[in-house]
Structure 1
Amino acid sequence: MSNLKLKTLHMGPAQCAVDLGDGSERGEYVNQDYILQKLGRPHRAINLMYCYYPNDDKWPGRASVVHADPSVQFAWDFPYDDYFTYKGGLNGTLDDEPFTYMRDVRRHGQDVLLTMTIDPKLTDDHIIAIAKDLRTFGRVQLRINHEATGDWFSFNKRASYEEVAAFFTHCCEIIHREAPNVKTIICLDGCKELEDEKMEMEDIFAEASRAADIVSVDRYMALHWGWPYDVAEEGGDTFARHTVEKIYKLAKNSYERYTVVNNGVKKPMVLSEFNADGDVTGAYDQAQMLKDFCEMLKADKEKWLSGFTLYQMRDRGRLGLEIEDPNNADVGIEQPILETYREIIHEDFFSPSMDEGDEITLPAKLRWGGSEDADGVALPIHFDSNPVFCEVYFDEDNIDMNLMMELNGHWFYKAPGVKCIDMMSAFFKKPLDGEADMTLKIFAPPASGENDATQGDDWMTNYYTELKSLPKVRVRFAPIVK
């Protein structure tokens, strides 16, 4: 190993990033170790969905639990939104949700995408407290009061659309001042029909759109919004299906209208929730529609979409890569869309860029800016043939490091204290057919999941780690005993 030429390595953005929803009113949080093992790579960001109505009766209990009522026949017919409840904020704690999950997300080399519905009547001290909560979590994306032109969420029932728009704008001012590491996302309904010349309520939300850092719409190619209170059957009116082409065009039209509203500035555009509902399409068409959309995206010469968030990892209905086992909530039942999605996210178009730099010697300073901006190292490894054993060992100089590593397109996580990582799963689906020169890519996200305020002026957006020595790589090309 001493003769190998270690090089610097920069990870940058994909042509189109992939984010993943993990938990909502329809499913529970799935830990990042499980997701990484199932999908073989980290995401740009993980979307966590929470609500904040701290002045409400029985807060912070989950709405569907503390306000359970047999007369409820719609997912949003509770006094406040039935998301997980945000335990931070004014007089809150950082030792509960969502912060426990945010740390899990960041340890595994991903950014936090936090969706929050917030009572628009709250005073500034609440918003300032939320901003301060998020300072240590790196390059957070914060989506406030999404689907803002709808009428189902509690914030729309408590304020006019004009008030909702003004509240978003004001939140942006506070967030940008108090937590400059956080980027805000506005999510409107966008263009609803192909003939629409404007987005829905475009003028009302124009100032809010200009205040946001990122613009978005939610788009479902099929959706059963009556779930779980009815079953989608022919003749029903609680579900819909659209063509892939229509959804693609509506999303792109919305991006173009956002650009007009923003006076020609092309802000990053994302689909903050995206899927086809298997309740409507069945499992096979669901997977095919996702594939068809992504093929359209790759073929489009106008690279207008910066990323999409697949909704979601595990769902109690059929909007997930897995269905939650009704007998055991900790078990997911893989759907055909999971394999399709796994293939898509490993394509170059949806993968982060990797650029090797100059040769370096140890110790090396690694920088974690986020999943789209990180500096690591590339360690060359020669393979005589497809390996039978491929392991990476850590000693006292590096055993306490928190690392994300990639080999042969497959990513691995090493938690602090772990001595050995078996990398053979990188070759199970992509075996080598002969000799190959490859690189082991190594990055170091923060072990605690949070940035360190003592590291320098840029601590909110960068975390630094020193790599003192290389791990030892054990590769064998035949069984130990034949």
Structure 2
Amino acid sequence: MSDLKAKSLHMGPAQCAVDLGDGSERGEYVNQDYILQKLGRPHRAINLMYCYYPNDEGWPGRASVVHADPSVQFAWDFPYDDYFTYKGGLNGTRDDEPFTCMRDVRRHGQDVLLTMTIDPKVSDEHLRAIGQDLRTFGRVQLRINHEATGNWFSFNKRASYEEVAAFFAHASEIIREEAPNVKTIICLDGCKSVDDEKMEMEDIFAEASRAADIVSVDRYMSLHWGWPYDVAEEGGDTFSRSKVEDIYTLAKKSYERYTFVNGGTKKPMVLSEFNSDGDVTGPYDQADMLKSFCEMLKADKEKWLSGFTLYQFRDRGRLGLEIEDPNNAEVGIEQPLMDTYREIIHDDFFQPSMETGEELALPATLRWGGSEDADGVAVPLHFDSDPVFCEAYFDEDTADMNLMLELNGQWFYKAPGVKCVDMMSAFFKNRLGGAADMELKIFAPPASGENDPSQGEDWQTNYYTELKALPTIRIRYAPIAK
């Protein structure tokens, strides 16, 4: 097909967004090419979990490595949190983690959701350096010192709850001064019982809640917090399981309390960590619980939840779509949860909105504002029947572009330099029963993963790319030779 036409296309937010955790104290980072291939679509954001304790002995080594101790019997019993260490900040580098991962995330059409535990005693110079690190990464969501009403993270052991709350508000202000593209997330434990009139420590964290752009709670429908130091068995006390309905009710009540604290302002509400632990439920109930929660969410006429982050893609325990193969950390063992989650995220309720406009002439300027605000092009395609071959070819005008493509419900990534994208996998599980018309959707996230300061006043939230020509589409309906 060489006589293709292009129409304007706008991508907006889903009714409820889906984000995905990728790496933590329980698992390594998995590249976005693999995740896209397994799940068939990008997420709104990818959550990366890091810590910043730059004044500590052993920094920036991983806590469980530089402070290894056979007597440790709890994941958070190291001098500082056992997350990946944030290599940026004051006197740091942007050539290491998390920036390598952040670039990978953004190249693949997703926003960065950065979770950071930060020493509440660091100076403003450290906070300004973090803000400067994040300036080029578009619409970053930054979750600072999450689960702030707990007692396990190092920041809670170094400061009072009042000090932790004040630090969140102050850090949010300083970081946003340097990086106005960043939105901060407050994460409290929320309402613990339907009989509670307030969230836990609601008054202490009221100012922090008002300082946040986004409000959140973490919710596990079941959790084995004793992992990996014991095995969850009947009669044990290092795990729990709740009813799905109770988790839903308490999360929604937490949103209502956040709204009250914010004077009636309904800030976006997210579940920043969400899953059911297969250590407790086994693999089948784990999948059923997630599906039940999402069905309740879809049926609720009050659209109170902005999004949730599934924790996580690959886990050394049973909190992932895959379990890390103990023989080879680069191999994942898919769980039944994967099929259920794939079905959920391809439901229209959790998909970004798409609005096709008028026909436009090329060259055209594509705008990438983020996964909930982007302007691309839609290319109408006609299929006579179910295809045997379906490919997109890119010439000298388009081969160096960084593109995200969507066809028949499946997304594909085209890296700079790639000249052909085989799109047949869009039809393997969604075959056509006859002739069909559909659109090939094309968006252009930044090839480097970072925005360009030379592009204009809005460079921190928008990235622009010129599309000079459309790809050539090769469609065939029968084998080439019989």
- Please, what TM-score do these two structures have when normalized by structure 2? 1.00
> What's the offset of the Cα at 1:420?
0.5
Query: Partners in 2 of 1:385 and 1:75 — Cα distance?
Result: 55
Report the counterpart of residue 476 of structure 2 in structure 1.
476
Matched to 2:151, the amino acid is: D
In the alignment, the residues of structure 1 paired with residue 193 and residue 228 of structure 2 have an alpha-carbon distance, to the nearest angstrom, of: 27
Q: Deviations over 1:265-320 (max 9, x none)?
A: 00000000000000000000000000000000000000000000000000000000
- Residue 4 of structure 1: aligned partner: 4
Matches within 5 A, 1:227-238: 227-238=227-238
Counterpart for residue 85 of structure 1: 85
1:431 corresponds to? 431
3-state SS in 1 of match to 2:455? coil
Mapped contact 2:147–2:187 kept (Cα < 8 A)? yes
Q: Check if 1:258 corresponds to 2:258.
A: yes
Letter in 2 for 1:299: A
Q: Residue in 2 aligned with 1:349?
A: 349
Question: What CA distance in whole angstroms lies between the structure 1 residues aligned with 2:87 and 2:68?
Answer: 20
What is the 5 A alignment of 1:291-440?
291-440=291-440
Q: Displacement of 1:358 after TM fit?
A: 1.2
In structure 2, the partner of 1:50 is 50
Q: Does 1:170 align with 2:170?
A: yes
Distance 2:60 2:403 in 1: 35
Partner secondary structure for residue 35 of structure 2: helix
The corresponding residue for 1:73 is 73
Quote how far apart the aligned CAs of 1:4 are. 3.4
Q: CA deviation at 1:194?
A: 1.4
**Structure 2 unmatched runs, 5+:** none
Displacement of 1:176 in angstroms is 2.0
Q: How does 1:258-297 map to 2 (within 5 A)?
A: 258-297=258-297
Q: Is the 8 A contact 2:216 2:272 kept in 1?
A: yes
- How far off its partner does 1:2 sit? 5.3
Aligned residues: 482
Instruction: Give, as a single letter, the amino acid of the residue that structure 2 aligns with 1:334.
Output: E
5+ residue gaps, structure 1 = none
Listed one character per residue, the Cα deviations across residues 118-141 of structure 1 (whole Å, up to 9, x for unaligned) are 000011000000000000000000
In 1, distance between residues paired with 2:63 and 2:4?
57
Q: CA deviation at 1:375?
A: 0.2
Q: Does 1:226 align with 2:226?
A: yes
Alpha-carbon shift at residue 95 of structure 1 (Å): 0.0
CA contact (8 A) 2:279 2:317 kept: yes
**Secondary structure at 1:370 match in 2:** coil
SS at match of 1:439: strand
Give a deviation string over 1:391-443, Cα, whole Å, max 9, x none.
00011000000000000000000000001000000000100000000100000
Counterpart CA distance in 2 for 1:94 and 1:50 is 14
Alignment of 1:153-232 (within 5 A): 153-232=153-232
Q: TM-score, normalised by structure 1?
A: 1.00
Report the equivalent of 1:14: 14
2:249 is the alignment partner of 1:249: yes
What does 1:18-33 align with in structure 2 at a 5 Å threshold?
18-33=18-33
Q: C-alpha offsets along residues 192-244 of structure 1, whole Å, 9 cap, x if unaligned? A: 11111100000000000000000000000000000000000000000000000
Task: Work out the CA distance in 2 between the residues paired with 1:322 and 1:62.
Answer: 23
Aligned letter for 2:73?
A: Q
How far did 1:3 drift? 4.1
Moved over 2 A (4+): 1-5
**C-alpha displacement of 1:177:** 1.4
Within-5 A mapping of 1:121-132: 121-132=121-132
1:468 maps to a residue whose letter is: K
Find the aligned partners of 1:142 and 1:340 in 2 and give their Cα distance: 28
* Separation in structure 1 between the aligned mates of residue 344 and residue 444 of structure 2, nearest angstrom: 25
- Residue in structure 2 matched with residue 240 of structure 1 by the alignment: 240
Give the secondary-structure state (helix, strand or coil) at the position aligned to 1:223: strand
Cα distance in 1 between the residues matched to 2:221 and 2:54: 34
CA apart distance, 1:469:
0.5
Aligned mates of 1:260, 1:268 — CA distance in 2: 13
**In structure 2, distance between residues paired with 1:128 and 1:386:** 55
Note if contact 2:2-2:472 (Cα within 8 Å) is conserved in structure 1.
no
Once residues 173 and 309 of structure 1 are traced to their aligned partners in structure 2, the CA distance between those partners, rounded to angstroms, is 25
User: What is the letter of the counterpart of residue 363 of structure 2?
Assistant: P
Give the % identical residues.
85
Shift of 1:365: 0.3
Root-mean-square deviation (CA), in Å? 0.5
